Amino acid sequence: MSRRTPTLKGLRAFEEVYILGNFTRAADALNVQQPAISYQIKQLERDLGTPLFVRRKGELVPTPHAHELFHTVSRAFDGIRETAARIRSADQKQVWTIATYAGVGTHWVSPRLAELSRRLSVRAKLITLISDADLFREKANCWIAFGDGNWPGFEARLLIRECVFPVSSPSVARRIRKYKSRVDTSGIPLIEQEDPENRWLDWQAWSNSSSENWGLTDNRVIVNDHGMALHLALAGSGIALGWSGVIQDHLSAGSLVQLSEFEATSSNGYWLLGREGFFDTEEGRLVFDTLTGVS
């Protein structure tokens, strides 16, 4: 028995012509010109030594050999398609998705994505959103959310406790004047995060915990997420409240400056969340260890 196999192009052209009963429709299905289909069928017939289609009253009719070939070819191509679909599906699963807010995602999670990919041996994907409602609608492998650690249906482990203090770019920091009785921030806007639910520590909460008199003014820029607040601070557009931990990389690099030793804290924080049993899995432990810097 000869092991010579017809060309793949010829077999695909044959399959479409057999199913559609027309060279032109087969060409459209394969996104080629009609003469290309005619050529492939002629080459296949020459290779097999027998006609595969005959014309009767203007219609293209498969021969008995065509019926036999189609039975084999269709099963083979269906098997290839099913296998390819399984491989694509498996490949899509090799993505580890973390959903969180823009601030912690951009300034804290993203620098750790490469290491997370390496340790999990998958591609790590970060999705950032603003509201908790949007966050938990996202189909993710795990989530980083802000709160007290209690989310029904989820297991949670603390990543970063809420602790805030004023920060700015070095150029803005040089414009601030500190006196014995007050801190002069004249002409420098305070960057304020919009918070209709009063979830986060704000400028007033920080001022209440500080013995420094900043004389908080109404000269403010209001944004709807912490990520934008930090972006403006980095760009030299004002003074923001920075989260200890979240901005540590910026502080270490000197791109942000801590402007006061006084910090406001709460019992809330950023937590890593997973479904029940998440932290009992190897992946759950690796994600938590990677984010918290455990080798």
Mean per-residue pLDDT, 10-37: 92
The share of the chain scoring above pLDDT 70, in percent, equals 97
Same domain, 40 and 151: no
**Of 273 and 92, more confident:** 273
Q: Is the pLDDT of residue 92 over 60?
A: no
Strand partners, 144: 272
Most confident of 50-54, 198-202, 291-295: 50-54
Same domain, 166 and 281: yes
**How many residues can be counted in the chain?**
295
pLDDT band at 88 (very low <50, low <70, confident <90, very high): confident
- Examine the fold and report which residue of 92, 113, 143 is the final residue of a domain before the chain moves on: 92
| pLDDT (tens digit per residue) in 55-69 | 998 889 999 999 999
Q: Residue 294: exposed, middle, or buried by beta-carbon count in 10 A (0-12, 13-18, 19+)?
A: exposed
| pLDDT (tens digit per residue) in 203-236 | 999 999 898 888 888 899 999 888 899 999 999 9
Q: What is the pLDDT of residue 16?
A: 92
Q: Is the pLDDT of residue 295 over 70?
A: no
Q: Is the pLDDT of residue 175 over 80?
A: yes
Per the structure, how many domains does the chain have?
2
Question: Do the Cβ atoms of 173 and 213 come closer than 8 Å?
Answer: no
Q: What is the pLDDT of residue 93?
A: 57
Q: What is the pLDDT of residue 130?
A: 82
Residue 1 lies in a domain: no
Q: Provide the residue range defining the domain that includes 189.
A: 96-292
- Examine the fold and report which residue of 60, 92, 124 is the final residue of a domain before the chain moves on: 92
Question: 34-48, 73-87, 133-147: which range is least confident on average?
Answer: 73-87
Same domain, 59 and 121: no
Same domain, 88 and 117: no
Q: Which amino acid belongs to residue 176?
A: I
**Of 164 and 134, more confident:** 164
Same domain, 130 and 230: yes
